[in-house]
Amino acid sequence: MGFQLTVFRIFSALLCSLLLVACANRGTGPTGGPKDVTPPVLERSVPALEQINVKDRHVDLYFDELIQLTNPTEKVVISPAQIEPASIKAIGKRVSIVLNDSLKLNTTYTIDFGDALADNNEKNVLHNFAFSFSTGASIDTMQIAGTVLDAHTLDPMANIITGIHKNLHDSAFMHIPLLRVAKTGEKGTFVIRGIHDGDYRVFALNDMNGNFFFDQPAEGLASYSKPVHTSFKMAVRNDTIRTDSMKIDTIKQVPYVRFLPDTLVLRYYKEEFYRQRLVKSERPIQDKIVLCFGAKNDTLPVLKPLNFKWKQPPLLERSLKNDTLIYWLKDTVAAKMDTLKMVLYYSKSDSVGKLVSQTDTLVFKFFHSKRLLSAKNKDKKESNKKVETWNVNSNLASDMDVDKSIRFKFESPVVAVDSSRLRFFVKVDTLWKPAVIHLKQDDDVGLAWSIAYPWKPDTHYKLEMDSALFTNWKGLHNASFQQIFRVRALEEYSSLIVNLSPFIEHAMLELLNSKDEVIKTLKAKPTQNTFSYLMPGDYYLRMYVDANDNGQWDTGNYKQKRDPEQVYYFPSKITLRANWDIEQDWNPTELPLDKQKPRELIKKPEKSSSRN
């Protein structure tokens, strides 16, 4: 009996050990089976999916596992548009939605979760999940889909409201809330669901005030150029079945209903915003006053002194749009004053955006350091101090490009130039031979200067500048300077020849680097558009249609029915090698706009805050 009891106890202990091991192996830990890659599954809902004649504003969705809901106020979009935001919560395996707006009669409601829903443990996202029900006797099932791109860069625009209007007049977008809405994902794509069959206008909007129509100039927008008609057809797509997250088991062709249109491209832009005001006024250094405005100035403001008089009027440095004005004080007496009081006459936008005359009194302070020195110490300091020199910034390097000028940039304007202190030499064999060059002022105030010369490739040059070649109004001189440099040989360069087919009138070609920055610009010709003197490397091409021939890309204006100027990207990288000419044919309209921009140039979308 004792022996049997001992054997039973040993067997029971072994059985318990085996059960514990088996239980331990059920998990998804480091040694416990394949990782869960399945997103949550909707098991039931109240009301039921696509239920009709719904009267209750409360919706409960029940899933097969614990749910995590990420940022529902931004990511979950409800159609029709909800002026009063819905209450959306995840509670265990349940998602609760309470619609705070009154339900509309005979209307299909769609709750689009985007990528907001995921399981709580592995964070597997339930992508493109949308729940629909109807307050009437039928469900509207049509859809309109597409992509929203930045009109200038063709980058995808994330988190932008898209919507439709049954009213086809342009004015509807400016006064009536969008009929049905969706929101773009990270790739700029959108699907507007629950649409009744018919004709619609399609829009995108960075809705800053949550009213679902375009009524603020600062709101970005996009408008599809013509009405679209909803339709559908049967189609086939590839469905990938995986054994786990890495391995593909089979690819099946699955029939589905394709709703049209589904490839719309909306070009998003912001209008030029002309609400004028004085943003900032400052005196960063003693002889410099800066005024910054909120918009361009068509008429220059007038700045007049109050507690002093000009002995010499200031020099005015202006930005391209006159929205930043810099006054350089040539009057040394005024520059030495701690406090300058001045009056500014300018135009300012009133509450409705109309420009009205404005007068402001401005105070500019700059406190100079006080030196309390005895006469003896002051004389000693004056005799021992070094001559103060003036910084000169230059693009001059040991190797220069054959098509570039030498450029100088100064910290304050030049008032005097002594060309006798400038010497220039060309190296011929082993000898330096003097040559004649000329300085050219490149701006209105003397901050920018340049030297152009018919450079000979693969040749050495020497530039010598004595002190006091340049002098500013404080009497400061440049330091002496010498630079030997070489102009690169033609064999070191490459050229890119672009042939447009078809040719587009008013086109401007832009050569870009890997940061999507413009390197060179050409006004396009039908053939042989040549970018010369390019260093070997990787380049990209962009083109815009300069409709008004002003030499720059211009945004649109909805009220004036002016679209942003059209932009195209060459769809791949162009690699140039030294001493090679690359000829490239390009049909800018061959690919849809959302397929053009090379992937490596696409910037991660910046999410715009808007209200759903």
Q: What is the per-residue pLDDT across 273-295, written as a single tens digit (0 to 9) for each?
A: 778 999 999 999 999 999 999 98
Closest CA to 320 of 213, 438, 471, 443: 443
Per-residue burial over 173-194, b = 16 or more CB atoms within 10 Å of its CB, e = otherwise:
beeebbbbbbbbbeebbbbbbb
Tell me the pLDDT of the chain averaged across its residues.
Answer: 88
Structure tokens at 142: 């049509």
Query: Is residue 34 in some structural domain?
Result: no
Query: Is residue 228 in some structural domain?
Result: yes
Contact call for residues 163 and 205 (beta carbons, < 8 A): yes
Query: Are 167 and 209 found together in one domain?
Result: yes
Query: Is residue 11 in some structural domain?
Result: no
Query: Are 303 and 259 found together in one domain?
Result: no
Structure tokens at 227: 């009405």
CATH number at residue 321: 2.60.40
Q: What is the per-residue pLDDT across 167-220, written as a single tens digit (0 to 9) for each?
A: 999 999 999 999 999 999 999 999 999 999 999 999 999 999 989 999 988 899
Per-residue burial over 332-341, b = 16 or more CB atoms within 10 Å of its CB, e = otherwise:
eebbebeebe
Q: Residue 500 is part of which domain span?
A: 493-601
Query: Are 94 and 167 found together in one domain?
Result: yes
Closest CA to 128 of 79, 75, 81: 75
Q: Residue 383's pLDDT band (boundaries 50, 70, 90)? A: very low
Q: What is the per-residue pLDDT across 393-452, written as a single tens digit (0 to 9) for each?
A: 999 999 999 999 999 999 889 989 999 999 999 999 999 999 999 999 999 999 999 999
- % of the chain exceeding 70 in pLDDT: 88
Q: What is the pLDDT of residue 608?
A: 45
Contact call for residues 145 and 264 (beta carbons, < 8 A): yes
Query: Is residue 586 in some structural domain?
Result: yes
Cis (ω within 30 of 0) for the bond into 85? no
CATH number at residue 149: 2.60.40.1220
Say yes or no to pLDDT of 248 above 70.
no
**144 Cα distance to chain centroid:** 26
Query: Is residue 597 in some structural domain?
Result: yes
Query: Are 54 and 189 found together in one domain?
Result: yes
Q: What is the per-residue pLDDT across 49-65, written as a single tens digit (0 to 9) for each?
A: 999 999 999 999 999 99
SS (H, E, C) 358-370: EEEEEEEECCCCC
Q: What is the pLDDT of residue 19?
A: 35
Q: What is the pLDDT of residue 609?
A: 42
Contact call for residues 329 and 342 (beta carbons, < 8 A): no
Residue at which a domain ends, from 453, 470, 491: 491
Contact call for residues 245 and 256 (beta carbons, < 8 A): no
Query: Are 91 and 205 found together in one domain?
Result: yes
Q: Residue 22's pLDDT band (boundaries 50, 70, 90)? A: very low
Query: Are 441 and 586 found together in one domain?
Result: no
Say yes or no to pLDDT of 8 above 70.
no
CATH number at residue 474: 2.60.40.3710
| Residue 67 backbone zone (phi > 0: left; psi -120 to 50: alpha; other: beta) | beta
Q: Residue 243's pLDDT band (boundaries 50, 70, 90)? A: low
Q: What is the pLDDT of residue 112?
A: 94
Identify the H or E element spanning 164.
strand 161-165
Alpha helices in 438-545 (DSSP H): none
Query: Are 535 and 593 found together in one domain?
Result: yes
Q: Residue 33's pLDDT band (boundaries 50, 70, 90)? A: low
Query: Are 64 and 213 found together in one domain?
Result: yes
Residue by residue, DSSP assigns 225-251 as: SS-EE-EEEEEEEEEEEESSSS-EEEE
What does the alpha-carbon distance between residue 144 and residue 260 come to, in Å, rounded to a whole number?
6
pTM of the model as a whole: 0.83
Query: Are 221 and 125 found together in one domain?
Result: yes
Q: What is the per-residue pLDDT across 106-148, written as a single tens digit (0 to 9) for each?
A: 999 999 998 899 998 889 999 889 999 999 999 999 999 999 9
What does the alpha-carbon distance between residue 85 and residue 52 come to, in Å, rounded to a whole number?
23
E strands, 286-330, in order: 288-293, 302-305, 315-318, 324-328
Percent of residues in the chain assigned helix, strand, coil, to nearest 5: 10, 40, 50
Residue at which a domain ends, from 439, 456, 491: 491
Closest CA to 92 of 67, 116, 70, 117: 67
Collapse the DSSP code of 215 into the 3-class scheme (helix H, G, I; strand E, B; otherwise coil) and give the result: coil
What does the alpha-carbon distance between residue 214 and residue 409 come to, in Å, rounded to a whole number?
44
Contact call for residues 274 and 218 (beta carbons, < 8 A): no
Residue at which a domain ends, from 491, 519, 535: 491
Closest CA to 289 of 324, 264, 262: 324
Query: Is residue 214 in some structural domain?
Result: yes
Say yes or no to pLDDT of 240 above 90.
no
Query: Is residue 150 in some structural domain?
Result: yes
Query: Are 470 and 502 found together in one domain?
Result: no
Comparing 251 with 510, which gets the higher pLDDT?
Answer: 510
Query: Are 478 and 341 found together in one domain?
Result: no
Say yes or no to pLDDT of 381 above 70.
no
What does the alpha-carbon distance between residue 580 and residue 603 come to, in Å, rounded to a whole number?
31
> What is the edge-to-edge ordering of all strands in the sheet holding 477-478?
389-390, 477-478, 470-472, 414-417
What does the alpha-carbon distance between residue 525 and residue 498 come to, in Å, rounded to a whole number?
9
Closest CA to 327 of 306, 348, 301, 347: 301
Structure tokens at 336: 């030495």
Query: Is residue 202 in some structural domain?
Result: yes
Four-residue CA torsion sign, 183, 185, 189, 193 = negative
Q: What is the pLDDT of residue 223?
A: 97
Query: Are 454 and 319 found together in one domain?
Result: no
Structural domain total, the chain: 4
Closest CA to 542 of 508, 491, 500, 565: 508
